[in-house]
A and B are shown apart, each in its own frame.
Chain A
Amino acid sequence: MLGMGIVKGLVETARNFLGSFTDKDRLVTVQFPEERLPVAEAARNFPFLIYDGVDPEQGLRCVACQICEKECPPRCITIEKSKDKKPDFVGKQQFYPAVFDIDVSVCMSCQICVEVCPFDAIRMDNEFELSTDDRFGGLLWTKEKLALPNEHYMAIHPTEAAEVEARRAEEKAQAEAKKQQPAVTK
């Protein structure tokens, strides 16, 4: 009969309206600054540099090989090698970056820098509330701002971090074994 469709529609909307006060499924809004949706583990937004230990200068994993600078598609990374060397986690002397800048407004979160880094030094962070009102340099992040401890990496990407830790522990063990061997053979 004419009009039945309208009545059914009205009943459905009324059910939605009344249900939105009681039923969780009928009010799916997440009120943003107060509540947040859970972030997926593989979510990525902007890269950061990892340092081991407590000193961001000494424990920085990056050896300024500049592979990520060359591979970055919009070329947002700027690296300047240092003149002296410092030891890395297996004890070998490596360069370190004197200047390491990433431009936040240029970076497109493609993760290519992470994929090509041979030293597990740069990884993606999932922090997205990066806006600032400082127009003159607020969006050019330097080494000090980019360096975050390894614990942070393990907190945000646990599975990847576990795999990286396992690999690094193995390499460290191999390096230790090699260090003790020449004393034996010679």
Chain B
Amino acid sequence: MSATFFILAAVTLIGACAAMMLRGLVHCALALAVAFAGLGTLYLNLGAQFLGLAQLLVYVGAIAVLIVFVILLTRGGDSDSPALSPTALPIAGVLVATAIFAILAWAIFHTVAIHSPGLPAPQATIRQLGTSLMEGYVLPLEVIGLMLTAALIGAVIVAMKEKQDPR
């Protein structure tokens, strides 16, 4: 629990809260990107190089960009959604969030892992990740690849159909 951990955690939490509370939709998406980047740096802080960099590459580089594209292509981005009106129930939201946090904290503190002496973390190098993907888990890998291809083709078909509809 060093100073870097606190700073990075603060950045992540501020990004996540801002993503909920800001008014403009694109602002929320950018704050979400900050939260993702914070998570990536937290992984790097724990020493998981591949995971942290993959988080940055995929989440911030691709998914955040995808989210802003979707916002712009569907809503126009100009119309700011009205913030939660004061008559909404923020108190209920806070209570629910606190309850979930308490349950998760109780669950985590009662796991075996926290109470056992710290084992040396297994060094999952990229080479090991690669070999296990290609040898042990090759079937799930191929299935995921097929699923992604199907999603891509489906998206293209849906987009094409919309272009031909007015005809």
In the complex they form, whether A and B have CB atoms below 8 Å apart is answered with: no
Residues in A lying within 8 Å of B, measured CB to CB: none
Residues in B lying within 8 Å of A, measured CB to CB: none
